[in-house]
Structure 1
Amino acid sequence: MSGSTTSQGFAFTREQFQQIIEDTLAIAKSAGASDAAAEVSEGAGLSVSVRKGEIENVERNRDKSVGVTVYLGQRRGNASTSDFSRQALEQTVKAAYDIARFTAEDTAAGLPDAEDLVSVDEAAVDLDLFHPWAVDADGAAALAKRCEDAAFATDRRISNSEGGATSAQQSHFWAGNSHGFRGGYSSSRHSISVSPIASMKTGKGQVDMQRDAWYSSMRDALELASPEAVGRYAAERALSRLKGRKIATCEVPVLFESSLAAGMLGAYVQATSGGALYRRATFLLDSLGQQVLAPHLDIDEDPHQHKGKASAMFDDEGVRTRKRRVVDAGVVQTYFMSSYSARKLGLKTTGHAGGSQNLRLSSRLTQPGDHLEQMLRKLGRGFFVTELMGQGVNYVTGDYSRGAAGYWVDGGRIVHPVHEVTIAGNLREMFKQIVALGTDTYTMGGKTVGSMLLERMKVAGS
């Protein structure tokens, strides 16, 4: 990102941000801090929603902040402000300093070790994350309307809509600390979405109504799916849920749609994150070197993927990120740790302050032809899950129980929609019972995986 950020929709330039960081760190040092870290950021965006062809909301957002962390030995204080004036920076540093003064010492507190910090050259690598979208409110509304119109045009049973939306967001930041780290970059994320409602009369004089939704989200607006494609697919999803019914309680194989399988990958990250491990709040305690996934499964991480949804050359602390194999043949190779959680565990930071970066779960058994239809054939007779409800995951025990909807499959073919059921199991067993992954990969929040077939789960119905 060049200094001409004001011409790219930002109010502040990179040079201004760099000066704010230098000033803040200098103020912290003169106040008596043994170490300090600071970050300054700015975000701007436009969100427009329409419903039944009429504009419902037009929201513009612009926010900015400076955050500073002050260390007095092993005591830590943090404060932030949205005022960039010199006086405000001094007051913010003083607030962080005062918090640190009255905070108990913590042997794990402190900046990352200098050798773990990204170099200036590494930090400057451009991962192509910034693609500003010069769409105005009228243009955004037109895209959302095209999306919703396409849903309505799919079938006359698409009788209503919870609306279509277009969002264009961009931000930039600069960060530094007293160990010499400096770095920052601009990024963008844009999306279009729609939530159509399908309805039909049932034989009892009642109306069956089902909603579903779909969206497309990319860093570059030119790579978004067409509004018509998003609208049609959302409509088809809603239509396919009509005439849903409960099923009898059973224990059967379960196939998770790829977008939901990404959530399973997220559960793995949560269970092997440093915070959960040092608090002993995970069922995967002491799992390093242990077999926790089925032996045909690998998890790889690539933080340096161009245009990746979770790409970064360094984490939130300025620690360099690295490509790595997280799980090899089902065996845990490494955790997800910040410098603080790593110290708590007596280990080294893995560069994950702020979370995981572009994970991919893959199976050594997956064949090129393992698309969704083939995965349904592998399922044979069981439950294909396309929606999950509730937060029924206990990471301490691994117990998993969530409301679900989807389709009953028999002979490898969808027979009818299913709703109002609960699926239950334990993640420790579920991870080991993954028997296949499809080629129908989907990326959600930087996690990529295909549809996921589990050997069996309890499905509680009528």
Structure 2
Amino acid sequence: MKLIDQIKIEEDLLLEVIKNIIYLVQKKNNYLVEVFVKKTIGSTVNIRNNIVENIEFNNDSILFITIYNKFSKGSISSRDFSTNSIKKMLNIAIDISKHSSSDFCIGLPDLELLCFNANDLDLFHPSEINIKDGINFASQVEKEAFKFDKRIINSEGSFFSNHININIFGNSLGMLEIYKSTRYSAYNCMIARDNNLMQRDFNYSISRKIENLDNPKKLGQTTAKRVISRLGARKINTMKSPIIFSNELSSSFFSYLVSAINGNNVYRKSTFLLNDLKKKIFPNWLNIIENPHILQGLGSKPFDNEGVKTTVKYIVKNGVLKTWLLNNYNARQLGLVSTGNCGGISNWLVSHQNISFKNLLKYIKNGLLVTELMGQGVDIVSGNYSQGAMGFWIENGNIQYPVHEVTISGNLREVWSNILSISNDIDIRNNIQCGSILVSEMQISGK
């Protein structure tokens, strides 16, 4: 059976499951329901030194049911979609709702917020690629990296994965919508040695369409170039200096903002940005737009995990924080309206100043280019930030030598306000798409 036919059968079966659940709840008085089903089909091939280490197959489904009993609720999830299991789940969820405390913020989203007739965002591009093809792809990536330089002595592994997701949401208000997506990814990590000192580095590619992945030669050679460039890494002295976060780190750099403006942290008063809505937290020129409707976007989706339609909106405009990220519950806690962010953000587009990365380097007389971070050293309550880092030392706008075993630190409020520029080398491999970021000064702790 062709893959596309298999997916259609799975889709029809899941739709019937949700319809049946809604029907069973409608037969009971005083209860409302929302149902979310996610199915993942795919495989991942892991190899190392041209030997297949493992092959993972996915054919997983999970069913989430939430019963609303006036201002209380009961939630349950299961991987068993049988009729008997569903009836037991409904009884358990109803029983939980009867014994839960009342909260006037609990309930289904308002009807006008829900997504009906979901837009096709061109996320679904299934391929008949098989396990053998995946092994060949990952093996070729590794071979290309080994061929690049004799100083590359070992591999930490390569993988190729392809997955299909089916997302279906329905509720008692008449919403029943579906969207499907595909995701292909490839990864490679190599080890190089020079003068008995070793370094590692990696590279990856990810796309909705298999033909948009980097080819094995490019992926392997890029990994090789990166790991060779790390050889001879030095420690540097403790100091304060300008820092550039490379484009592949920019998503993590702004992910701290995602946490700081998350509605759960806001209504619980556990964020350092609690009093900063409608206030300036970035330079005047910086904008962040969330666009969930980019065709083939890695973060694109027509509705969130509560069925609320997603919308294009400013997160930051001219440096000013414009919105929190709200689901239905925490929006009501704050007296606001859901922003369609239950389950996380969609595509964030961070503005840049239309300069190249090469020109961004020219801003620095002496400073650090950070290309890898380690640890989770961010306190969202205080905004204090500290992470281990590796990268390259810059002098007079030119990269001089690799650097390791340093820690960079500061307070996010100050770091964000000290952004001098962002280059146009945008990394599109993440939900947050941004170029390399130049910060005027941060603390570097070295030797």
Shorter-normalised TM range: over 0.9
Residues 153-302 of structure 1: matches in 2 within 5 Å?
A: 153-201=147-195, 207-302=196-291
Q: Deviations over 1:30-84 (max 9, x none)?
A: 3445211012232111111111112111111111122110011111111122222
Q: Say which of 399, 404, 408 aligns to 1:423.
A: 408
Identity of matched residues, %: 35
Change (3 A) 1:11 1:128: closer
Aligned to 1:337: 326
Q: Is the 8 A contact 1:379 1:453 kept in 2?
A: no
Residues 135-154 of structure 1: matches in 2 within 5 Å?
A: 135-154=129-148
Q: Does 1:456 align with 2:445?
A: no
Letter of the structure 1 residue corresponding to residue 244 of structure 2: L
Aligned to 1:445: 430
Aligned to 1:96: 93
> How many Å separate the matches in 1 of 2:387 and 2:321?
26
Letter of the structure 2 residue corresponding to residue 438 of structure 1: S
Residues 17-166 of structure 1: matches in 2 within 5 Å?
A: 17-119=14-116, 121=117, 123=118, 125-166=119-160
> How many Å separate the matches in 1 of 2:96 and 2:287?
44
Aligned to 2:379: 394
Cα shift at 1:10:
3.4
Letter of the structure 2 residue corresponding to residue 428 of structure 1: R
> What secondary structure is seen at the aligned counterpart in 2 of 1:212?
strand
Change (3 A) 1:384 1:24: same
> How many Å separate the matches in 1 of 2:365 and 2:105?
51
Q: Is the 8 A contact 1:315 1:352 kept in 2?
A: yes
Cα shift at 1:133:
2.3
> How many Å separate the matches in 2 of 1:147 and 1:13?
33
> What secondary structure is seen at the aligned counterpart in 1 of 2:123?
coil
> How many Å separate the matches in 1 of 2:426 and 2:269?
33
Q: Which runs of 5+ in 2 are unaligned?
A: none
Cα shift at 1:445:
3.0
> What secondary structure is seen at the aligned counterpart in 1 of 2:191?
strand
Change (3 A) 1:178 1:6: farther
> What secondary structure is seen at the aligned counterpart in 1 of 2:416?
helix
> How many Å separate the matches in 1 of 2:97 and 2:2?
35
> How many Å separate the matches in 2 of 1:266 and 1:328?
17
Cα shift at 1:5:
9.1
> What secondary structure is seen at the aligned counterpart in 1 of 2:392?
strand
Aligned to 1:353: 342
Q: Is the 8 A contact 2:36 2:305 kept in 1?
A: no
> How many Å separate the matches in 1 of 2:302 and 2:207?
19
Cα shift at 1:441:
0.5
Q: How many residues align?
A: 447
> How many Å separate the matches in 2 of 1:8 and 1:298?
43
Structure 1 range deviating more: 27-36 or 255-264? 27-36
Letter of the structure 1 residue corresponding to residue 170 of structure 2: G
Q: CA RMSD in A?
A: 1.5
Q: Deviations over 1:213-252 (max 9, x none)?
A: 0000001111001111111111111111111111000000
> How many Å separate the matches in 1 of 2:443 and 2:160?
39
Q: Does 1:377 align with 2:366?
A: no
Aligned to 2:306: 317
> What secondary structure is seen at the aligned counterpart in 1 of 2:54?
strand
> What secondary structure is seen at the aligned counterpart in 2 of 1:285?
coil
> How many Å separate the matches in 1 of 2:3 and 2:198?
48
> How many Å separate the matches in 2 of 1:388 and 1:208?
20
Change (3 A) 1:139 1:94: same
Q: Deviations over 1:423-443 (max 9, x none)?
A: 000001111111000111002
Q: Which runs of 5+ in 1 are unaligned?
A: 202-206
Cα shift at 1:269:
1.4
Q: Is the 8 A contact 2:251 2:431 kept in 1?
A: no
> How many Å separate the matches in 2 of 1:323 and 1:279?
26
Q: Deviations over 1:124-161 (max 9, x none)?
A: x2111011122111110000011001110110001100
> How many Å separate the matches in 2 of 1:290 and 1:244?
41
Cα shift at 1:28:
2.4
Letter of the structure 2 residue corresponding to residue 406 of structure 1: G
> What secondary structure is seen at the aligned counterpart in 2 of 1:307?
coil
